[in-house]
Amino acid sequence: MGKALFVRHCAGCHGPEGRGNGYKLLGPDPANLTAITTKKKVDEDLLRTIHEGKPNMPAWKAILSTEEIRNVLTYIRTLTP
């Protein structure tokens, strides 16, 4: 469930395995979601980032439901470096 959403919406920038190796952007590169710095962040922080977006990342709250965003985060938590 979360994986299908990730592949469709997130892999373009974050890469198929979430390592941040999608395409290069101007400005901040997509985060490596398998990195220890992301693993250490609490769910609330990451959910906020996904909901609200970042300078180089779109906000998802208008596109995905709260439940879908939770499912994507659950999938991100399963990614390994």
Binding site for ligand HEC (CB under 6 A): 9-10, 12-14, 25, 28-31, 33, 37-38, 41, 46, 49-50, 54-58, 60, 72
Q: Please state the closest distance from residue 80 (CB atom) to ligand HEC, in A.
A: 15
Contacts of 27 (CB under 8 A, 6+ apart): 55, 56
Q: What is the CA radius of gyration of the chain?
A: 11
Q: Please state the closest distance from residue 31 (CB atom) to ligand HEC, in A.
A: 4
Q: In Å, what is the CA distance from 35 to each residue of 14, 20, 27, 39?
A: 12, 9, 19, 6
For ligand HEC, give the closer residue by CB, 21 or 57.
57
